[in-house]
Amino acid sequence: MTADAQTLGVIKLGDIAPDFEAETTKGKIRFHEWLGDAWGILFSHPRDFTPVCTTELGEVARLRSEFESRGVRVIGLSVDDVESHHTWEADIADIAGAEMWFPMIADPDRTVSSLYGMVHPNELDSATVRSVFIIDPAKRVRLMITYPASVGRNFAEIVRVIDALQRTSRYPVVTPANWTPGQRVILATSVPTDQARAAVGHDAEEIRPYLRLVADPGTN
């Protein structure tokens, strides 16, 4: 496995996601080439055959249509090897009732884990924490979340964030607290009201000069 040279583990929102080559359960990949022009999710696991991660991977397997309908490519990572991954995947498919349709990266030397700042020796013996990265078609990191070992990830929330990111990337809007598709969004403060209205195709309700609500343009 090889990774491009850069400062390890120092990633900020808006940075280009580090590129790397790795062996996966679907064969060897070059990460940026594998992403293409799609949105992507990279999420890590400390090791194979862990109970919380088994339920998480099963949930992602069941959500295949949700990710595919949004044009999102999903890839997991664990520090064990490909052979171990395949054995674990059989367990996951049996428990979840859904096949593992996305690749899992084998990262036994922690190359990708280090590159993405997933290493936290004080948290887990295997030194890789449970992180999520959402990456846009320009290869920029748009979201980062790190979960403790004891708390399962909420993939419904991750899908919701993808909807919000895709909406705000296409239109001059931002989303309010607890937003879900179909609910009103906020016009970006950087855009004049008339220009924003033309872009989203709806009239805005001005609650305050800085808080202008408009119908979800994604429902047009």
Classified as helix, coil or strand, 3 is strand
- The C-alpha atoms of residue 99 and residue 47 are separated, in whole angstroms, by 19
The helix or strand, by DSSP H or E, that contains position 127, with its residue range, turns out to be: none
State how far the Cα of 177 lies from the Cα of 159, in Å rounded to an integer. Answer: 15
Q: Which three-class secondary structure string do you get for 131-154? A: EEEEECCCCEEEEEEEECCCCCCC
| H or E element in which residue 72 lies | strand 72-78
Task: Dig out the tokens for 109 from the structure.
Answer: 């030397």
Residue of 11, 35, 42, 53 marked catalytic: 53
Contact 61, 93 (CB under 8 A): yes
Per the annotation, the verdict on 182 as an active-site residue is no
Q: How far is CA 118 from the centre of its chain?
A: 14
Token pair for 85 = 């991954």
Pairing of strands 72-78, 39-45: parallel
Supply the angle between the helices 82-96 and 51-62 in degrees, to the nearest 10.
Answer: 70
Catalytically active residues are 53
